[in-house]
Amino acid sequence: MYEVTIEPTGDVVEVEEGQTLLDASLRQGVWLPFACGHGTCGTCKVQILEGEADPGDASPFALMDVEREEGKVLACCALPQSDLVIEADIDVDPDFLGYPVEDYEATVESITDLSPTIKGLRLRLDRPMAFQAGQYINLQLPGVEGARAFSIANKPSENDVVELHVRHVPGGAATTYIHEQLAEGQTVPLSGPYGQFFVRKSASEDLIFIAGGSGLSSPQSMVLDLLEHGDTRKITLFQGARNLAELYNRELFEALAAEHENFNYVPALDAPEEGSGWEGFTGYVHEAAIAHFDGQFGGHKAYLCGPPPMIDAAITALMRGRLFERDIYMERFLTAADGAEGGTRSALFKRI
């Protein structure tokens, strides 16, 4: 297993023995330009800045000798032979602050039941961590192999704790440990901040947040951060949950909506229990967004966070309402149950 750092964004991906750079990157949610996928076109050419890689089966016409000597490789064929730093043809967003990733010791301050399936964790850090609202940390748990990613739910100004929302994934080692064994006072190592999910503050457009299940974490951090800084753009948060018991932190957002004229909060339940007295929107969260905006989303920036089917439905709804890739940002919550994304992918979209 090699660690590959991708400049200029600083994303880090892990590449297994015999796995190509492109495969590892795409599977870990880091987009690199590519087209043919088998070494004949050269679209995925990257520059190696540090380390060694085998160029693999790259065509001599797509990756020429002089380029090989310069340390260029095709990501779709290249097999790392050591940890690498590469430079790819990807854009750095001017709103990305690029806080350094560091290791922290965190002490479990509290564990609360947010819903029947979601626990809220507050971890106190051994020192402050600078992060952007929307980013995530990698948490290590005793007896669980590898680190697990969780989005930070608190606002960045509260920089000596991280608040996490953890849904129990049946059979999932890490979430089962958190739900059944993790105790207050326990210390756990974590690293961060990671990720390219953050608010484009320099953009003037009004904002839409669509969150599903424990995917509320990032949007919560983002909304709290925006309101704390007195942002005057219109902000609408759609929160999707199965039923009333699963709809958590509702009071928090209802209070914020009452306090801030520019903030709207729209919860949606897709399967409210009979007799629960639910009077809000019934249906999927993307349907709530369509109803609220009358199907027209142009002129916004949209931020999506939640399970893959929700993200997928939300993207389709937004695009049908004429909001396109350049204005849609997302964090997919993949679990082991989702597996690697199966099937052939077209090269039509880069990030969505």
Partner 1 sequence: MAARKLNLKERYSLLTRDLDWEYSYRDKKEIFPYEDFEGIKITDWSKWEDPFRLTMDAYWKYQAEKEKKLYAIFDAFAQNNGQQNVTDARYINAIKVFLTGVSPLEYQAYSGYAHVGRQFSGVGARTACQMQSIDELRHVQTQVHAMSHYNKFFDGFQDFSHMHDRVWYLSVPKSFFDDARSAGPFEFMVAISFSFEYVLTNLLFVPFMSGAAYNGDMATVTFGFSAQSDEARHMTLGLEVIKFLLEQHPDNVPIVQRWIDKWFWRGTRLLAIVAMMMDYMLPNRVMSWKEAWEVYFEEAGGALFKDLARYGIEMPKYAATAIAEKDHISHQTWSTFYNYGHAAAFHTWMPDEKEMDWLSEKYPDTFDKYYRPRFEHWREKEQAGERFYNPTLPMLCNTCQIPMGFTEMDDPSLIAYRQSVYQGERYNFCSDGCKDIFDHEPEKYVQSWLPVHQIYQGNCGGADIEKVLSEYYRINMGKDNLDFHGSPDEARWNAWHNLESAEERLKKAG
Q: How far is residue 328's CA from residue 245's CA, in Å, rounded to a whole number?
A: 29
The secondary element (H helix, E strand) that includes residue 68 is helix 65-69
Q: Is residue 95 involved in binding partner 1 (CB under 8 A)?
A: no
299 binds partner 1 (CB under 8 A): no
SS3 state of residue 5:
strand
204 is an interface residue for partner 1 by CB under 8 A: no
Chain centroid to Cα 170, Å, comes to: 21
Q: Which is nearer to partner 1, 87 or 338 (CB)?
A: 87
Site string for partner 1, 52-91 (x = CB under 8 A): -------xxxx-xxx----------------------xxx
Q: Where are the beta strands (DSSP E) in the chain?
A: 2-7, 11-15, 45-50, 53-54, 72-74, 79-80, 84-87, 102-113, 118-125, 136-139, 148-151, 161-167, 187-194, 206-212, 235-241, 263-269, 281-282, 300-306, 328-332
Q: Minimum CB separation from partner 1 for residue 285, in Å?
A: 17
Q: How far is CA 122 from the centre of its chain?
A: 19
Q: Which residues pair with 119 in a beta bridge?
A: 113, 166
Is there binding between residue 202 and partner 1 (CB under 8 A)? no
Stretch that binds partner 1, among 107-115, 140-148, 234-242, 314-322 (CB under 8 A): 314-322
Ramachandran assignment for 63, one of left (phi > 0), alpha (psi -120 to 50 degrees), beta (any other): beta
Q: How far is the CB of 50 from partner 1 (least distance, A)?
A: 16
Residues 16-55 that bind partner 1 (CB under 8 A): 35-36, 40-43
Segment interacting with partner 1, rule: CB under 8 A, options 15-23, 183-191, 235-243, 321-329: 321-329
Q: Note whether 347 binds partner 1 by CB under 8 A.
A: yes
Report in angstroms how near the CB of residue 203 gets to partner 1 at its nearest.
Answer: 14
Output 33 or 280, the one with its CB closest to partner 1. Answer: 33
**How far apart (Å, rounded) are the C-alpha atoms in residues 3 and 14?**
5
Assess 337 for contact with partner 1 (CB under 8 A): no
| Residue of 1, 54, 70, 92 that binds partner 1 (CB under 8 A) | 92
According to CB under 8 A, which one of 182, 188, 319, 334 is a site residue for partner 1?
A: 319
CB of 65 to partner 1, least distance (A): 8
Angle at 257 between CA 226 and CA 154, to 5 degrees: 45
CB of 315 to partner 1, least distance (A): 6
Q: Is 349 in the site for partner 1 (CB under 8 A)?
A: yes
Largest distance between two CA atoms of the chain? 72
Q: With contact defined as beta carbons under 8 Å apart, do 201 and 295 qualify?
A: no
Cα atoms in the 13 Å half-sphere on the side-chain side of 333? 23
Judged by the rule CB under 8 A, the positions of this chain that interact with partner 1 are 8, 35-36, 40-43, 59-62, 64-66, 89-92, 315-316, 319-320, 322, 324-326, 343-349
